[in-house]
Amino acid sequence: MSEIINLTIDGKSVQIKKGKTILEAARKVNVDIPTLCFLKEINEIGDCRICLVEVEGRRGYVPSCITKVEEGMVVRTNTPDLVDARRLILDLILSNHDRKCLTCTRNGNCELQNLAQRFNITDLEYDGERIPQPIDDLSPSIVRDPNKCVLCRRCVATCKNIQKIGAIASTNRGFNSAVEPAGGKSLNDVNCTFCGQCIQNCPVGALKEKDSTKDVWKALRDPEKKVIVQTAPAVRVALGEEFGMDFGTNVTGKMVTALKRLGFDKVFDTDTGADVTIVEEATEFVDRLKNNKVLPMITSCCPGWVKYIEMNYPELLPHLSTCKSPHQMLGAILKSYYAEKNHINARKIYTVSVMPCIAKKFERTRDGEAFNGMDDVDSVITTKELARMIKQAGIDFVNLEESTFDDPMGEATGAGVIFGTTGGVMEAALRTASEIVTGKELHKIEFKDVRGGAGIKKATVNIGDNKIKVSVASGLGNAKEILEEIKSGKADYQFAEIMACPGGCVMGGGQPICPSKKRGTVDVRLLRANAIYNADEKSAIRKSHKNPAVIKMYEEYFGNYGSHKAHEFLHIEH
């Protein structure tokens, strides 16, 4: 049994396990010690000194986020001298900070701004010498503004320790300290996968997604364009957070209404594209299994993950499915099958994808993601960008009535919905692959062994007479472990799903940002994922190959699953 430590914090008695920090002990009794660089289990370095506290018997202050509790310790967190010390630290941080808060995307959700309000900083005692630094906006996905960086190193820890990439690092020392890619390069020129986890963990506006809303507004105002929008499953369980709604609230109906109010000609569901992805991917997997082709096959829905394997393990690319991601597939379908059936000039269609992922901005520009000189997808905006558009239009989102997706590309299954969380693509594929192989209806369709928030999950499932071993990984640090197993020949599974973001798309780089303090008490991933699975359970159809719109599409246009025509539009060579 773990040893229990007794201490006192601001006069409150606390009991906590040995090895815990003063910060953890304080939060246990609702004593609010401010933090900035601290990010639970990711960045615990005590650099910013905002969390300083007094410990009786010790000289000077100690950082509470890294100081371990001791028996009988007496801690004070809010003395006048401590408040003055924190104000001084904040003054120094702000003295070298680009304080253009009104034009910052993090205005209203900035941890530095919140600290300045908490400590009633209305003017600055110090005004540091600020030398403007060039903004790095060369990548299609991420904008890095060093003028807003507070050197907290949360992005560094995320990239290096969680994603195991190291695309961004701490450089130089003293007043020349910086957080940047090695050699001062652009993120576009290093091994960045554009996963966007650095954005999610930045406390300020030093990292953000590249804004595409101006392009979308321009298209909406062009009478010559038919502007069609599609939304990913993870968007609907997070968008509400931008309007003060609870984590994991499913706002599908309000979201569709808001998109129609914004002026989109059609509002379709990326889940329909996910259903197409599944029938193609399941067909590809069964073909590889039956004909002794390259195994394990690995899913290709996540562009951050695809970029990672291309840069780091190119020799393993034959393991990657050739299927395009769901939104790219649906974009291609809209400019081919849909345009033809509805007698629309495909060149007048402008497709917009609302995604939880900033790597999708990069993906839409890749070679092969176009046909007949037309991009499959013309613009990608994130969940946060859609929220900004809704606010810009003055729409009262919370009180909107609900409406439904347009037909026929709004007809989707529960299998398409679960793409939004780790393990969802695998589960959806297994539902379809099983019935393709056996020709029999699968009654137990939930594969719960591949669910959950664990970074790596492995399971054995029965498909007909075959025992299929599968693996699911989320987070690129875990992806590396899977790829090393394949590279060494130790992988004994036939099918693998990999997502770049820990937890899958529900935790994508384009999702609403949850402040670090809140993340310490709320499992955001779990709440969003539960909403995804609830949507699946309530779906009338829960297998992709049973989607009537998909069945009709293949009968009228693509022919069989995996046909030459399907490959022409829906697959890509990596």
Confidence label for 173 from pLDDT (cuts 50, 70 and 90): confident
Is the pLDDT at 350 greater than 90? The verdict is yes
Count other Cβ atoms within 10 Å, centred on residue 540: 7
> Which structural domain range is residue 34 located in?
4-92
Residues 189 and 138: beta-carbon distance below 8 Å: yes
Q: What is the mean pLDDT of residues 565-569?
A: 96
Number of domains observed in the structure of the chain: 3
Is the pLDDT at 1 greater than 70? The verdict is no
b/e 18-48 (16+ beta carbons within 10 angstroms → b) = eebbbbbbbbeeebebbbbbbbbeebbbbbb
Q: Domain containing 179 — which CATH number?
A: 3.30.70.20
Confidence label for 172 from pLDDT (cuts 50, 70 and 90): confident
The β-bridge relationship of strands 374-375 and 495-499 is unpaired
Residue with tokens 């994991």: 248
Q: Do residues 9 and 102 both lie within one domain?
A: no
- Please provide the average confidence, as pLDDT, over all residues in the chain: 96
pLDDT at 550: 97
Report yes or no on 11 lying in a domain.
yes
Percentage helix, strand, coil for the chain under 3-state DSSP, each rounded to 5: 40, 15, 40
Q: What is the mean pLDDT of residues 383-401?
A: 98
Q: Do residues 460 and 563 both lie within one domain?
A: yes
Asked which of 181, 209, 237 is the last residue of a domain, the reply is 209
Return the percentage of the chain with pLDDT > 70, whole number.
100
Q: What is the mean pLDDT of residues 273-288?
A: 97
Report yes or no on 355 lying in a domain.
yes
Q: Do residues 166 and 253 both lie within one domain?
A: no
pLDDT at 557: 97
Q: Which of 295, 322, 360, 445 is nearest to 141 (CA)?
A: 360
pLDDT at 372: 86
The β-bridge relationship of strands 169-171 and 178-180 is antiparallel
pLDDT at 574: 87
Q: Do residues 51 and 162 both lie within one domain?
A: no
User: CA-CA distances (angstroms) from residue 453 to 163, 201, 461, 507?
Assistant: 16, 18, 19, 11
Confidence label for 174 from pLDDT (cuts 50, 70 and 90): confident
Q: What is the mean pLDDT of residues 525-552?
A: 97
Question: 211 or 371: which carries more pLDDT confidence?
Answer: 211
Is the pLDDT at 334 greater than 60? The verdict is yes
Confidence label for 520 from pLDDT (cuts 50, 70 and 90): confident
pLDDT tens for 479-511 read: 999 999 999 999 999 999 999 999 999 999 999
pLDDT at 481: 97
Report the alpha-carbon distance of residue 212 to residue 379 in Å, rounded: 7
pLDDT tens for 233-277 read: 999 999 999 999 999 999 999 999 999 999 999 999 999 999 999
Q: Domain containing 502 — which CATH number?
A: 3.40.50.1780
Count other Cβ atoms within 10 Å, centred on residue 315: 10
Q: What is the mean pLDDT of residues 48-59?
A: 96
Is the pLDDT at 32 greater than 80? The verdict is yes
DSSP code, position 221: T
Q: Do residues 441 and 453 both lie within one domain?
A: yes
H or E element, residue 380? strand 379-382
Q: Which of 504, 539, 331, 300 is nearest to 415 (CA)?
A: 539
